[in-house]
Amino acid sequence: MGLAAVIVGGGILLSRFMGLFRDKLISLMFGATRESDLYFAAFVIPDIINYMLAGGYFSITLIPFLTRYFEEDEEEGWKFFSSVFLWVTASICVLTVIAFFSAGSLARLAAPGLGPKSLARLAFFLRIILPAQIFFLCGSCFTGILFMRKQFFVPALVSVVYNFFIIAGGVLLRARGMEGFCWGVLGGAFVGNLLLPFLAVKYGGGFSFRWSFFHPGLKKYFFVALPLMLGQSITVLDQQFMRIFGSFAEAGAVSRLSYARRIMMVPVSVVAQAAGMASFPFMADLYVKGDLKRLYRTVKSALQNVMTLLVPMCAWMILAADPTIRLIFQQGRFGVLDTTVTARVLQVLLLCVPCWGVQQVLGRAFYAKLDTLTPAVLGSIVTVVVIPLFYFLAVYTGAVGVAWASVSALFLYTAAMAVWWRIKWGGEAFFGLTSGTAKILLVSCAALLPAWAAQKASPFDPLLWPCLSAFSEILLSGLGFGIIFVLLSAHFIPELARPFLERTGLVGRFLLKNRAEGG
């Protein structure tokens, strides 16, 4: 499971860096302006359509069923897969066609705070991006097969290829504004999300398609997936709420929120999503075999490891938020004011990253037990509750207020899931998590002071050398934080640091050995 997490995490890390480079190009060419706002807002409706068919979790809900049918009989497994694929393909095609011809009306729902001229261009962007949802959802079927086979390399490359096409489209068609990036989305979805997984399934273990519209397991599968289709969790709507309610704030607010969220999602993706994706096939397999004791131990281990990494990462990233935004985005049409506001938004969003970590692992633990109803119901309740909060904070406090609404929503959702898990299945999966996280937080706070001092020691003037000063501040604070955190964690929390220090080579093992001898 650890190797799988490394493979998935490496692919996600590369993808996130490409995503940052993509957003860097957008900020360089268009800054935080209405044109860039329209591009980010153009994803609201396509993403919601994708969520309506459980697209965000499609391969996740499919894996336990594929595992069961393929273990019993491979022929039966391919019949089940083919039935699901045909129904899902038909559904997404119908919804996409309807949305394509209703783009004008849907644009007003996606960004209600925009004027007529902006809405017309948003509808144009929307029509380009909409067909990509067909490729996303159909490709998720093949990705589910790859995860079921525990083949993680190609799924890790999907987002890399997708982002490459977006960047290429934006550069090649830069004279057309943000339109080029929209065409890149369409091309990247086809090649990266559909064609690549299909070829991997076909040549990486065999592929056998059946024209079977009905299968005995189809009804049960859709019964499990239905809550994800009807219950829109705050985790999948969070980004859409930022775009929708950001349109009520100042011009450029949607772009600033999107830039900050892109940075925030790096630790979420590389650590939390990677751990969740890598652990899920193992959790699903344990549930199918009825080994619940090992399943709960797996959940506990994944949660603790995720928190051990995310808490210090977030602490340092909050400190380094301003130089990070300055280094990545402050250039071209992205000015000093944009940097200041975006950095404050990023600092707020980083507060809820540990909640993302718990949710990513715990949500997949629910799905491994074929319980999709609980996360969907809890997520839908939280979503309804926080809508007024999003609107109020967007209108009266702008982009930073929208960020606070997002943090509040994620905290409520994570807490609700944890409480319900304890009620339903006990607290074995959380044993020691609170005390362990508190220790990590204390060590992280202790490492922040030398990191802050190191950051202030940068010899470059940020007004004269913005990029160079930002780079030196990030480097100095990162080194200061990292060295002190490793030393303190090896001494005070060796039981939590051991799984990671043992994999860092001679230095990590030396620190653990000294601690053991000293203890």
Distance CA 217, CA 97 (A): 28
User: What pLDDT was estimated at residue 98?
Assistant: 93
Opening angle at CA 73, ends 68 and 75, nearest 5 = 115
Residue 48, C-beta contacts closer than 8 angstroms, at least 6 positions apart: 232, 237, 240
> Is the backbone of residue 205 left (phi > 0), alpha (psi -120 to 50) or beta?
left
> Going residue by residue through the chain (519 aa), what tens digit of pLDDT does each one get?
555 556 666 666 677 778 778 888 888 888 878 888 898 888 888 887 776 665 555 556 677 777 778 877 778 888 888 888 888 888 889 989 999 999 999 999 888 888 889 999 999 999 999 999 899 888 888 888 887 777 777 777 888 889 899 999 998 998 888 899 999 999 999 998 899 989 888 887 777 777 777 777 777 777 776 666 655 566 677 888 888 888 888 788 888 998 899 899 888 877 877 777 777 778 888 887 888 888 888 888 889 888 988 999 999 999 999 999 998 888 877 888 889 999 999 999 999 999 998 988 888 888 888 787 788 788 888 888 999 999 999 988 999 999 999 999 999 999 999 999 999 888 888 888 889 899 999 999 999 999 999 999 888 888 778 888 999 999 999 999 998 988 888 878 777 776 666 666 555 555 555 555 555
**pLDDT tens column, 293-348:** 888 888 888 898 889 889 999 999 999 999 999 988 888 778 888 899 999 999 99
SS (HEC) of 499-511 = HHHCCCCHHHHHH
Residue reference for tokens 């969520």: 51
Alpha carbon separation from 396 to 336, 402, 453 (Å, rounded): 23, 10, 35
| pLDDT value, residue 215 | 78
**What DSSP string describes 355-408?**
HHHHHHHHHHHHHHTT--HHHHHHHHHHHHHHHHHHHHHHHHHHHHHHHHHHHH
Q: How many CA atoms lie less than 13 Å away from 406 in the CB half-sphere? A: 34
Instruction: For the chain, give every domain's residue range.
Output: 2-431, 432-519
Closest C-alpha to 30, from 174, 188, 241: 174
Work out the mean pLDDT of the chain and round it to a whole number: 84
Q: Report which of 277, 327, 284, 335 is spatially closest to residue 302, judged by C-alpha positions.
A: 277
**Whole-prediction pTM:** 0.73
